[in-house]
Structure 1
Amino acid sequence: MSAVVPAHRSGNVEAPAAPTFAEAVKVWAKIGLLSFGGPAGQIALMHRELVEERRWIGEQRFLHALNYCMLLPGPEAQQLAIYIGWLLHRTIGGLVAGILFVVPGALVMLILSSLYMLYGDIPLVEALFLGVKAAVLAIVIEAVIRIGRRALKNPAMVSIAVAAFIAIYALNVPFPLIILLAGLTGWLGDRLAPGLFSGSAHGKDDGPDIKGAVDLMFERGELSHVKPTRWHAPRTVAIWLPIWLGPVLLIWWFTGSASVWTEIGRFFSLMAVVTFGGAYAVLAYVAQAAVQSFGWLAPGEMVDGLGLAETTPGPLILVLQFVGFIAAFRHSGSLNPLLGGSLGALLTLWVTFTPCFFWIFLGAPYIEALRGNRALSAALGAITAAVVGVIMNLALWFALHVVFREVHAVSLGMNVPVLSSIDWRAALLSCAAMIAILKLKIGMLPTLAGSALAGVLLLAAGG
């Protein structure tokens, strides 16, 4: 096993030897089982395990990989795992890292989704989820504050965040267009006002570079797979597009264009292409479509699903598995609802996470060649600022549907609450959860558990 080196050691200390494939599998399995806390917690866990303790990858290379993953649609933490697995052990390393990052949480989520649909209307379970919803609202607000502190370093970044919030909440501007305009703003801003845009990307490092085994392997010319070849892109597309979309086309062929499974495959495949900005940004897009466009589930159920996803290891985007399960459970036709729901969950997992492998295997060699590119960093900083505005919209959406029983649309599609429909129990629990997380710094899982227990106690007290 590679020697453990303290994080404070200088980058000029010789890095440990690269891990064997078996050693890497054990560590990826550990990360998959312990990756609670959403994207921020998962990225911190990988940084501690891979950069600080084992020094398999250097600080700057880790941040460069993270910056690329932040630019991609889909869950950035899982894509980061695939990227680092690919650096260490080529394609097989990326496959193992990405799969082990998802499987533990996916299995737990399947069990929880089944229990939710079978027993979710029992008063005790409803009380539990009342507390969970309150905690989820606090968690999302904390995410806005945390990401905002990191991304909104100057008035230019604040302006981009505010503009993104107004665009998505009040003007219904499509999310991909918001991200495209933000990236273009950062790219142009780097040329017109570099002091406001350069170096503003997610995870900018101000300390010494901690070199890792990958860096030494690169310097010795042992990482030939990180250099793009003439046939790399067409070969990757020819392999991974059929893997990704082949099952969707087969389901369409056998079940027809109107079946729920075809709708799931089509919708979440599109989501995998257009939902930039990380897990919370994806949730904003999916919540609107699943609740308002398809009618697969109610707003409160979407919040319940996020609460379940927060309690499982793995990507927060596993909430999409919950959505796919419920959609297919309720529209399973002649199939047993649990079987239909399980197939919907499996299909959702496939079309959500297979593209992550595609994006990394296709783009990582080219991104490795762009290390240190200032324009890319500036574009990423502006996109991250826009994502803050999008997450603000998600927090407002959750708040309206958690604290109020009735919400209606006004001009331009904006949602406003019916003030007389306030749920005092949800409002009280939400305030308590925000105090726990923001003021008392209590962790996410204890807050979720405490809020769920408080919901049960309110039920017992006749609330």
Structure 2
Amino acid sequence: MSVMPTTNASFSHLLRVFLRIGLLSFGGPAGQIALMHRELVEDRHWVSEEDYLHALNFCHLLPGPEAQQLATWIGWRLHGWRGGLAAGLLFVIPGALVILVLSALYAVAANLDWFEALFLGVKAAVLAIVVQALLRIAGRALNTRFKQGLAVGAFVALFLLDLPFPLIVLGAGAIGMAVAAIRPEWLALKQGGSVLPSGPRPWRSTAQALVIWGVIWAAPMVLVAATLGTGHVLWDIGAFFSQLAVVTFGGAYAVLAYMAQEAVQGFGWLQPGEMADGLGLAETTPGPLIMVTQFVGYLAAYRAPEPFTPFVAGLFGAGLTTWVTFAPCFLWIFALAPWIDRLGSAVRLKGGLAAVTAAVVGVIANLTAWFALHVLFATVGETQAGLLRLYTPDWLSFDWRATLLAALACVLVFGAKWSVVRVLGVAALGGLVLGLAI
């Protein structure tokens, strides 16, 4: 990788630029990555095109939000640990504060008629947005028959067989690494590769990062265990989202169905439709879409607040969720960034990533089907037929208003190609009209 001069990237200048990026980073990973490219590569020339793309590929190898990790890597490249920490935090903090305020408002207003009508439209719009994400990712990722088979297999394993999400991700990665060694063309991998860089391997810096950020990651969980015990909801929140941080390959859409099913069916923190509400809030705010986890953490603690008040418990739940979601992101970057050239040459690792990306399409298809059922029907049951888990919607609970609004959102997303924020606004207004007038 070429080394860029950093004389024009003072630390104070870096802070100002990444605060601007954090405030303007709407539009999901694609929009955020494009924004950083314009600000940092095209306008300021802080990072070369080659380095930027190489780092982006590296971040795709990691669990967690790739745009936030890319921001952290750029900060690390320019000003070491303090630059990476500043860039990563500034990318997250503006959206986290907005989501916190919206989550608090949602908790107190969720039972009001006008609020339910508003989110009738939001749910419908989110369904269209998730369908768009599914088609966009499938078109880019499924460029071989083998990848298409992985996607179908992942969907069947999740939707019909109810297999654990981490098993799907890890299994796909293992299959991809094995296939890359014997049939790389099945994964559309290029033969050969770049020469491994010479020089000592950065074991020392990696070990330091693992120890320091491992302690930072675990610190609030130790505090919760010591003061409230492992039976408290805050412990459950921290443990669950810590696990999620390790398997969140493919972004927020990929992990959302698993998170929703566990939060709704496993822990009873949310109602089915509330996960779509949370994603709608996350879509309208800057920062990574994975910030929807903060919405879940706030409501989970708010609804089981003892020994705190609901609002204070919600703050703790949201804060803990954000901590254990993003502390691992800094750990991955600071521990592995010195290895970026070597990882970029690892064919088997690339094969594992390609397989995981293909499986993620099936995961998002599972999310789409799950959302569609719970948005379009008020009551959805489950039955077991041998090894198969079947969803059984109550046809009498079919919601024609949500269906109409979802169709409108699809027209605006695919036909008019409106932005996410505009579609959510129109659908929310439509929900108010239909929900209050009828």
| CA drift at 1:160 | 1.3
Q: Is the 8 A contact 2:175 2:355 kept in 1?
A: yes
Q: Which residue in the other structure is 2:88 paired with?
A: 98
Q: Which residue in the other structure is 1:420 paired with?
A: 396
Q: Structure 2 counterpart of 1:188, which letter?
A: A
Q: Structure 2 counterpart of 1:459, which letter?
A: G
Aligned partner of 1:195 among 185, 203, 209: 185
Q: Identify unmatched segments of 5+ residues in structure 1.
A: 1-10, 201-218
RMSD across aligned C-alpha pairs, in angstroms? Answer: 2.2
Aligned partner of 2:263 among 268, 290, 314: 290
Call closer, same or farther: CA 1:425–1:368 in 2, change over 3 Å. Answer: same
Provide the rounded CA distance (Å) in 2 between the counterparts of 1:237 and 1:459: 51
Look up the SS of the partner of 2:343 in the other structure: coil
**How many aligned positions are there?**
428
Q: Structure 2 counterpart of 1:181, which letter?
A: G
| CA drift at 1:241 | 1.1
| CA drift at 1:16 | 8.4
TM-score scaled by structure 1? 0.88
Aligned partner of 1:41 among 31, 46, 56: 31
The C-alpha deviation readout for 1:6-63, integer Å capped at 9, x for no partner, is xxxxx99x98865222222111111100111122221222222222333322333222
- Of 111-120 and 72-81, deviating more is 72-81
Aligned partner of 1:364 among 326, 337, 350: 337
Q: Structure 1 counterpart of 2:97, which letter?
A: L
Provide the rounded CA distance (Å) in 2 between the counterparts of 1:58 and 1:362: 22
Provide the rounded CA distance (Å) in 1 between the counterparts of 2:155 and 2:414: 22
Q: Is the 8 A contact 1:400 1:416 kept in 2?
A: no
Look up the SS of the partner of 2:344 in the other structure: coil
| CA drift at 1:176 | 2.2
Q: Is the 8 A contact 2:177 2:352 kept in 1?
A: yes
Trace 1:272-291 onto structure 2 (pairs within 5 A).
272-291=245-264
Q: Is the 8 A contact 2:120 2:435 kept in 1?
A: no
| CA drift at 1:265 | 1.4
Q: Which residue in the other structure is 1:158 paired with?
A: 148
Are 2:93 and 1:120 equivalent residues in the alignment? no
- Of 439-448 and 117-126, deviating more is 117-126
TM-score scaled by structure 2? 0.92
Q: Which residue in the other structure is 1:212 paired with?
A: none
Trace 1:124-203 onto structure 2 (pairs within 5 A).
124-199=114-189
| CA drift at 1:402 | 0.5
How high is the sequence identity, in percent, across the aligned residues?
Answer: 52
| CA drift at 1:373 | 3.6
Q: Which residue in the other structure is 1:307 paired with?
A: 280
- Of 16-25 and 346-355, deviating more is 16-25
Aligned partner of 1:391 among 343, 361, 364: 364
| CA drift at 1:249 | 1.0
Look up the SS of the partner of 1:410 in the other structure: strand
Call closer, same or farther: CA 1:199–1:25 in 2, change over 3 Å. Answer: farther
Provide the rounded CA distance (Å) in 2 between the counterparts of 1:19 and 1:136: 39
Q: Is the 8 A contact 2:117 2:436 kept in 1?
A: no
- Of 452-461 and 321-330, deviating more is 452-461
Provide the rounded CA distance (Å) in 2 between the counterparts of 1:293 and 1:405: 20
Provide the rounded CA distance (Å) in 1 between the counterparts of 2:158 and 2:49: 35
Aligned partner of 1:61 among 39, 51, 61: 51
Q: Which residue in the other structure is 2:327 paired with?
A: 354
Call closer, same or farther: CA 1:234–1:372 in 2, change over 3 Å. Answer: closer
| CA drift at 1:282 | 2.2
| CA drift at 1:361 | 0.7
Q: Which residue in the other structure is 2:193 paired with?
A: none
Look up the SS of the partner of 2:136 in the other structure: helix
Provide the rounded CA distance (Å) in 1 between the counterparts of 2:203 and 2:428: 55
- Of 127-136 and 72-81, deviating more is 72-81
Provide the rounded CA distance (Å) in 2 between the counterparts of 1:99 and 1:275: 19
Q: Is the 8 A contact 2:294 2:319 kept in 1?
A: yes
Q: Structure 2 counterpart of 1:434, which letter?
A: C
Provide the rounded CA distance (Å) in 2 between the counterparts of 1:313 and 1:307: 12
| CA drift at 1:284 | 2.0
Q: Structure 2 counterpart of 1:178, which letter?
A: I
Are 2:80 and 1:107 equivalent residues in the alignment? no
Look up the SS of the partner of 1:231 in the other structure: helix
Q: Identify unmatched segments of 5+ residues in structure 2.
A: 191-196
Q: Is the 8 A contact 1:290 1:296 kept in 2?
A: yes
Provide the rounded CA distance (Å) in 1 between the counterparts of 2:247 and 2:177: 20
Q: Structure 1 counterpart of 2:429, which letter?
A: L
- Of 127-136 and 59-68, deviating more is 59-68
Q: Structure 2 counterpart of 1:433, which letter?
A: A
Provide the rounded CA distance (Å) in 2 between the counterparts of 1:136 and 1:147: 16
